Structure 1
């Protein structure tokens, strides 16, 4: 896509949804961090169902440690990979208390040093909790970036780097949310809703549905 087309793409996204937000439910940076860790290979809907029960009981690192790994598993047992995720959440909470006074750090290096936190999770927290202009690339965003011709890349890091170059600065803060929602509800994996897509005339995808 040309720079002019990319600019028009994000103008349309912003007009359709001026204040996009994550679909994960959270009230604090710690709740967001836990929710994002739990969301790996799981749906936001499934995570929200679990955290609605979990967060009233444990929504701080100290409370999570007091809950313990085995009891935490009972709250998140409906989520895929819950055993590993429970271990990571407990270990992450312990490190937050030991290294950061129980607060979620605002820098990438410290975030990525936490158990269960990779680049994508760090990007989500930096963007959504702290207002950084990062773009977390998941399967939805990678698909949209490649299909449309917005920022083609062979892997998520390549797509992320190209998105940071391609997306105009004015739209970078919200780009992650617009693209993930577009991929989740319009530019779907199996059958994209091309007739209902607001950027179909800009998109380079050759096999548009009719």
Structure 2
């Protein structure tokens, strides 16, 4: 398992956001890696390199699932497109359509800040589909940070491209996904069976 935190690619948000999720997975007997990656202005040209370097440290055999929250869902999809070792991406309120995010000006135009001089088309998750990994698109109905229209747009893109996917909406806001006590997190854990713990 790889966990990739969100935070709209800003440096003030770090891998501490994923610590509780990694601990929960470890308690379930799953090898969990909590990734850090370069963020901030122009970070689009660095973040995939960092994620691929992290993946190279995963030596266990078997399927690999990436769980990405918000901007982490974005990077998780880029990693899956580049690395066929990734079996599944679980996007928790993920920024999967950068064109839409830019159009909406989400988080004070965070997309443009992250891109720098990198063309949007090179790092837009929906533009990488279809790839081998399955994509689970989870989103909260009350999410004001990444509105549900993001999941709706991503689902349309998955259908039109033939990307294997599963979409589901839940009650809750943007942050319920990273609390291991919530039903939203339990839904993520259920997507790991039977690959990671035999359907238990």
Please classify the TM superposition score into its range, dividing by the shorter chain length: under 0.3
State the TM-score, normalizing by the size of structure 1. 0.27
Q: Which has the larger radius of gyration?
A: 1
TM-score, normalised on structure 2? Answer: 0.28
**Greater per-residue strand proportion:** 2
